[in-house]
Structure formats: structure tokens, C-alpha cells
């Protein structure tokens, strides 16, 4: 997938930026495949570990840059109400269903 995609940040409503569409889509697919559909979700560390197993090696060799992309996609999916942040300590995330 070539091109760019616009992403949002739940922490900065109204602001957006553009990122590589292929990298975004690969991380989005891995994230939605890793996150459970209901609470309790995954912590940031658990999510990153689960994501690394589902990422294409040619885009993320050895998991390189996965942390930045995971956070960017997670914030975008939260802003779009696809992923929900649980109010727990530590924070956890799960997919929104329904």
C-alpha cells in the first residue's frame, strides 16, 4: 500500500498528521488482531509484545520502530472509537465492539 494516511490523536482533539499508509495499516491490522474484544484488555507492554509477533518483518525488521507506530496507531484508534482505554492501573486497552 503506497501513500499516506491521516491519523488523529485522542489526547489532542482536532489535530491530525499524515503517516506512511503501509506502516499504519500493518500496525493497525496487528493491533486489532492482538487486542481482546472486551475487558480486561492488554497493558502497553503486553500489547507491544503481542504486536511484534504479527508485524511483517519487511516493514518492522526485528520489531524496529514498533513502539512508536504502536502508540501512534493506538492513539488514532482511540480517537476513532475503535479501541478503548480502560481506567485501570496499569492502563489497558481493548477493541470496541458493537
Average pLDDT score over the chain:
94
CATH number of the domain enclosing 68: 1.10.10
Quickly state the pLDDT bin for 2 (edges 50, 70, 90).
Answer: low
Segment 33-54 mean pLDDT: 94
Quickly state the pLDDT bin for 1 (edges 50, 70, 90).
Answer: low
- Domain range for 25 is 4-95
C-alpha cell at 15: 489535530
Question: Taking 60 as the threshold, does the pLDDT of residue 41 lie above it?
Answer: yes
β-pairing, 83-86 with 16-20?
unpaired
Task: Give the number of domains in the chain.
Answer: 1
Amino acid at each position: 500500500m503506497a501513500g499516506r494516511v491521516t491519523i488523529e490523536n485522542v489526547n489532542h482533539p482536532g489535530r491530525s498528521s499524515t503517516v506512511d499508509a503501509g506502516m499504519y495499516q500493518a500496525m493497525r491490522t496487528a493491533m486489532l488482531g492482538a487486542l481482546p474484544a472486551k475487558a480486561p484488555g492488554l497493558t502497553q507492554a503486553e500489547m507491544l509484545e503481542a504486536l511484534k509477533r504479527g508485524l511483517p518483518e519487511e516493514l518492522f525488521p526485528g520489531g524496529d520502530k514498533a513502539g512508536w507506530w504502536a502508540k501512534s496507531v493506538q492513539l488514532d484508534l482511540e480517537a476513532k472509537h475503535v479501541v478503548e482505554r480502560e481506567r485501570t492501573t496499569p492502563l489497558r486497552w481493548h477493541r470496541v465492539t458493537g
